[in-house]
Amino acid sequence: MASQASLLLQKQLKDLCKNPVDGFSAGLVDENNIFEWSVTIIGPPDTLYEGGFFNAIMSFPPNYPNSPPAVKFTSEIWHPNVYADGCVCISILHPPGDDPNGYELASERWTPVHTVESIVLSIISMLSSPNDESPANVEAAKEWRERKDEFRRKVSRCVRRSQEML
């Protein structure tokens, strides 16, 4: 018997296939595992990431949508809100409830109303507007603030590499 999580994920995948959203594509890593998705995010226009094709894996927990998925870029990406290992750090991917560090409001964190589409659109927004006040990658955040030319150079290299991987 299919779980509530797997039924919801099947519906979201079907909806995305029927009505694709500009800026990304999504599918399953393995057709037998609805809990692991492959996502390609197209670098948003008018940003440093424009023209890039960044691949990521979304791993959903068995109790989705009550808990958020983990999102990890498999493409190289230089960004203040992406850890060196590719894991994305944005508020809506943090567990629901109060932030133990007191930085985020509970309303900014995960809620079950989020969908794959809203998650990926939030990641696209993150690419457009990095949050350097709460960085996952401190070095990238410092460059973003203090050495924009160096930051741009590293992002351009990531964009070029992503294009070569097509």
89 part of the active site: yes
- What are the CA-CA distances from residue 5 to residues 21, 68, 147 (Å)? 22, 11, 44
- Tell me which of 17, 87, 89, 158 is the catalytic residue: 89
The three-state DSSP-derived secondary structure of the chain is CCCHHHHHHHHHHHHHHHCCCCCEEEEECCCCCCCEEEEEEECCCCCCCCCCEEEEEEECCCCCCCCCCEEEECCCCCCCCECCCCEECCHHHCCCCCCCCCCCCHHHCCCCCCCHHHHHHHHHHHHHCCCCCCCCCHHHHHHHHHCHHHHHHHHHHHHHHHHHCC
Q: Which residues are catalytic?
A: 89
